[in-house]
Structures are given as C-alpha cells and as structure tokens.
A and B are shown apart, each in its own frame.
Chain A
Amino acid sequence: MHRTAAVVEIERPQAAQLFAAARAAGHADVVAPTTFPIVVTLNAMGDAVTDPSVGVDWSRVVHGDQRFHYERPIVAGDELTVHTVIESIKTLAGSDMITLRGDLFDAAGLPIGSAWTSLVQRGE
C-alpha cells in the first residue's frame, strides 16, 4: 500500500464571492470540483505503478474507466491522504488493464471518498 499526502489549495479568481457562496451553502470553504481527487490519486497511483520492475510505457497507456465516490465534499484547506490499492490486473486482447482504487482520508483520518482508475497499456 502506498500513502501519499497532499494539502488542497484552490486558486480563487473571485475569492470573496466564491467563499461567500460556499459558506451560504453550509460549507467550511470553497468546494473542490468533482474530478479534483485525480490530482492526488493519480500521483499516488503513479508511485504504485512506476516501479521499474512493472515496466510501464506511459506513451502506450490510455485511461479506460474512472469513478469517484464521495462520503463528504472536499473543501479548500483539507489535508488529504491517499491509500492506493491495486484491485486487479488483467490481459485482454493483447492489452494490459490495471485497476487501482485510491481511498481518501482527511486530517482526522475520516473517510472522504474513493477514486477508481483503470489504465490500459495497449500492445505494441
């Protein structure tokens, strides 16, 4: 299992208005976009799959499937920790497919949600 930590920082072009809207909706700060976790989970997954013994050729890798599930929204200021698990590795029609799950936790260790990523390395 790989653990990667990151602190969420979100650029705020109209900071005051966005912050006010987020607070009005009951959030502690501005809410991250739905697909934001990929920034931390893909990096964590990269650590898990770029072991030289695995031999990934990234120019032949395409994204197959992606899913995000939330227990609670991510807001600016959150400190995230990712636990990455390799769920499966399959070979289909000459292509290798790896499915990874990144479980996200906040600074208190409580679950935020999970991201599932399937990557396909196409055959030569």
Chain B
Amino acid sequence: MTTQAFVVGTELPSITVHFTRAELVRYAGASGDLNIIHWNERTALAVGLPGVIAHGMLTMGHAIRVVTEWLDDPSQVVDYQVRFTRPVVVPDDDLGAEVTFSGKVSAVNEDGSAVVTLSAVFEGSTVLARAMATVKR
C-alpha cells in the first residue's frame, strides 16, 4: 500500500498504445464481446460507423493502467467510471490506432483517498469523458 499521501495536481506517467485489428480479435475472445462492429468493416460501415471500432472496454481497460502501474497495488482502485464519447477507429494495417492515456490527481478526499481524472486521446481528440478513478491509500 502507498504510504505517501496523494497530492492534488500530481501528473501520472502517460501510456501510448496501438490498437490493431488483431488486438480487437483477442479482446473479443477474452471479454466475450463478439459484436460484429469490432471486426467486420462491411457491417460497421453499413450501420453508419466510420469503420471497425475498438471495444469501449478495451479503451477503458488500457486507461486504468495509467493508475494501476502508478500505484503499489491495483486493488487500491475502488471506483472507476468513464463515458465513451467518440469511437476509436482501427484501420486494417499493422500500426493500428494510436491512443495516448494520461492521468492527474484532481482531488484528495478527507479519508486520504484520491480521485484521478483520466484522459484518452486519439487523432487529437478525447475519446473518454468523465473518466475518473477513486484510489484508496
């Protein structure tokens, strides 16, 4: 457990991830979310999406790594929420879609727990809103 107190304004080390079609297939299998829009471009375009999009949960899962890799113990995260505001479009190439995740301590509560506000940026725009994790000491 972290012994040092959390400090408002602390910036957490950022993480950059490349989402590829192969990773979407792996995540579909791991999560059980087999929705066709995450692997079939023809269907994704037909229903009005800009292309094959990443699972929101894949984005959410990577974003919290900013916090869990910063903490001593991942179980210090006691609450985590996001709103998915823009799709991450994953091209059919080897590089994939580049998403950069960062975080900052935005509040420290009376009990010593902290709120970390997270950000996820894809092609210059945020793809998550209200992305917040509460972490205990």
A interface residue numbers (CB < 8 A to B): 25, 27, 31, 33-35, 38-39, 42-43, 58-70, 73, 116, 122
Residue of B nearest to A116 (CB): B81
Once A66-B56, A67-B80 are accepted as A-B contacts, the answer to whether A43 and B32 lie under 8 Å apart by CB is: yes
B interface residue numbers (CB < 8 A to A): 1, 30-33, 35-37, 43, 46-48, 55-57, 60-61, 64, 68, 72-75, 77-84, 87, 130, 133
The minimal Cβ–Cβ distance linking A38 to chain B, given in whole angstroms, is 5
- A73, B37: Cα distance in complex, Å: 32
- A61, B37: Cα distance in complex, Å: 9
Cross-chain contact B68 with A65 (CB below 8 angstroms): no
The one of A33, A60, A70 in contact with B78, judged by C-beta atoms closer than 8 angstroms, is A70
The minimal Cβ–Cβ distance linking A29 to chain B, given in whole angstroms, is 12
Residue of A nearest to B129 (CB): A65
Taking CB atoms, residues of chain B closer than 8 Å to A73 are: 74-75
Taking CB atoms, residues of chain B closer than 8 Å to A31 are: 73-75
Residue of B nearest to A35 (CB): B61
What 5 A-B pairs come out closest when comparing CB atoms? A67-B81, A73-B75, A63-B56, A35-B61, A34-B64
Once A35-B61, A67-B80 are accepted as A-B contacts, the answer to whether A62 and B31 lie under 8 Å apart by CB is: no
- A74, B19: Cα distance in complex, Å: 27
Please classify the interface of chain B as helix (H, G, I), strand (E, B), loop, or mixed, using the class held by over half of its residues.
Answer: mixed
- A25, B57: Cα distance in complex, Å: 27
The minimal Cβ–Cβ distance linking A19 to chain B, given in whole angstroms, is 14
Once A39-B32, A58-B36, A61-B35 are accepted as A-B contacts, the answer to whether A33 and B61 lie under 8 Å apart by CB is: yes
- Besides A27-B75, A67-B82, 13 other CB < 8 A contacts? A31-B73, A35-B80, A38-B31, A38-B33, A43-B32, A58-B36, A59-B36, A59-B37, A62-B87, A66-B82, A68-B81, A73-B74, A73-B75
- A122, B35: Cα distance in complex, Å: 15
Cross-chain contact A68 with B80 (CB below 8 angstroms): yes
Taking CB atoms, residues of chain B closer than 8 Å to A27 are: 75
Taking CB atoms, residues of chain B closer than 8 Å to A65 are: 81-84, 130
Taking CB atoms, residues of chain A closer than 8 Å to B57 are: 35, 38, 63, 66
Of listed A25, A34, A43, A64, residue having the most chain B CB within 10 A = A34
Taking CB atoms, residues of chain A closer than 8 Å to B31 are: 38-39, 42
